[in-house]
Structure 1
């Protein structure tokens, strides 16, 4: 029998012992989401129509709609008395659509990249102070790099992290990472904010980032930016490999192929050079 880690035990205990207050909050959230879903289906509707579609009383539906309106997820037009989906709900949906568009644009290019280089390709996006891996195509090598989808990498010592931070305003970089010092994963890790900001300036100038055994000894990673139609950096494509198969002298050749893949993904997202 496998022992659970302490945090897993805690999570299991919390799952099995829901307090009445928690249960009430969850129920309210479920009802709020049902109201928002009903409104999305109706497009524009009165309180009575929304309550009927969600299976709630008019008074309950009104309280939920008012809360959603205050948070920007619902809009109400005083002249007609009709509710409609608000900007915040649109932003949530747009974020989902953008992520799916990114994955759709990247999958084929990542497979081709791995076919050509036979090294693992990763795709990451920015989330808070971390880079989060959203897709991976593994190499066929016996010894290959593997990253779980949804896993996070620090911005200060990963190739994808540096790329995702390099085109942010300096104030935003400071807000996401703080003033340091940053954790040292290896002797090569960047641990101070001034050194990191200098590194980001170099990444912007050269158009790529290198994780040179900064997160894990014996592993080198080359990352490039993926742009959308607005020319914003919306993702980072990387190739990672053991240093024994990816020596420094191979960086120029690998870079050319990875940049080409990033360029093709960006073009599919509407980017224009």
Structure 2
């Protein structure tokens, strides 16, 4: 059989390149699980020498797959990795799994339903099915929103440890968008704890006056929160007495999406 290997390339060189790729992917996977890590932490978790880890990270950084925060001395996943991952989300993955449930919710409740993912300290909207009422909510696909004052943002943070949430929020007061915005990290953490107990999060006119959103997490096959689904409507159509029932219904829809992604609730 004719040897298809290119001239001048040994088997050992090819094996070495595959090994380098595996190590680079391992670094990316480790960063995605911890969000930010120092070089020494990354080297320890991936069982690489600091010098090897640094060389691989620099290559990934030049390609945009990781970012380096010089001030904090921490590495994190870069925008390019998100863009590559988005190809799965939009082509036969998360969005395709979510759209039938989103459409079903809109048919039933006639309010706009959104799907968002986490990117750094913001939520990014990746899909929407609009309600059919004359006055309805609209969000541009690809738009970004703060985590602390949106339903989708709260839902994305519901499974994060308190220390990680505090790191994302920062130490200072949070920007107020309305009189209802929770500007204290402590107040936000209390609301997040209540949301986790209920199974859904509420944006109570915290980003826009007159708008309420109810959101709940979407999980992958490992149970990790990969997105959040929300129902958005004028506050007049989401009075206090409807919040719990709507929250249960949105959670039911999000859980059905999670099941399509392979998650089985214990």
Structure 2-normalised TM-score? 0.70
- In the TM superposition, what are the counterparts of 1:221-236 in structure 2 within 5 Å? 221-236=213-228
In structure 1, the partner of 2:176 is: 184
Q: Could you say which structure has the larger radius of gyration?
A: 1
- Is 1:103 paired with 2:115? no
CA shift at 1:201, angstroms?
A: 1.2
**What residue is the counterpart of 2:201 in the other structure?**
209
Residues 1:255 and 2:190 are matched in the alignment: no
Could you list the runs of 4 or more consecutive aligned residues of structure 1 that deviate by over 2 angstroms after TM superposition?
44-49, 87-100
Q: Report how many aligned residue pairs link the two structures.
A: 202
CA distance in 2: counterparts of 1:185 and 1:47, whole angstroms: 63
Q: Which residue pairs with 2:137 in the alignment?
A: 145
Contact 1:46 1:81 in 2 (8 A): no
Q: What is the match of residue 81 of structure 1?
A: 13
Q: Is the 8 A contact 1:119 1:241 kept in 2?
A: yes
- Contact between 2:173 and 2:185, CA under 8 Å: does it hold in 1? yes
Please give the per-residue CA displacement for 1:87-138, whole angstroms capped at 9, x wherever unaligned: 4458549834652411111011101110000000000111111111110000
* Change in 2 beyond 3 A, CA 1:110/1:80: same
Contact kept in structure 1, 2:200 and 2:248, CA below 8 Å? no
Q: Residue 257 of structure 1: CA displacement?
A: 1.8
Task: State the shift of 1:171 in Å.
Answer: 2.1
Could you tell me whether the CA contact under 8 Å between 1:123 and 1:133 is conserved in 2?
yes
Change (3 A) 1:113 1:177: same
**Backbone CA RMSD of aligned residues:** 2.4
CA distance in structure 2 between the partners assigned to 1:47 and 1:97 by the alignment: 35
The alpha carbon displacement at 1:227 in A equals 1.0
For 1:47 and 1:250, the matched residues in 2 are separated by 70
Unpaired runs of 5+ in structure 2? 29-80
Is the CA contact (8 Å cut-off) linking 1:162 and 1:209 kept in structure 2? Answer: yes
Q: How far apart in 1 are the matches of 2:166 and 2:123?
A: 15
Gaps of 5+ in 1: 1-43, 50-77
1:81 to partner: Cα distance: 1.1
TM-score normalised by the chain length of structure 1? 0.68
Map of 1:240-251 to 2, 5 A cutoff?
240-251=232-243
Matches within 5 A, 1:1-273: 80-82=12-14, 83-84=17-18, 86-87=21-22, 88=24, 92=81, 95-96=85-86, 99-100=89-90, 101-273=93-265
1:13-42: CA deviation from partner (whole Å, max 9, x where unpaired): xxxxxxxxxxxxxxxxxxxxxxxxxxxxxx
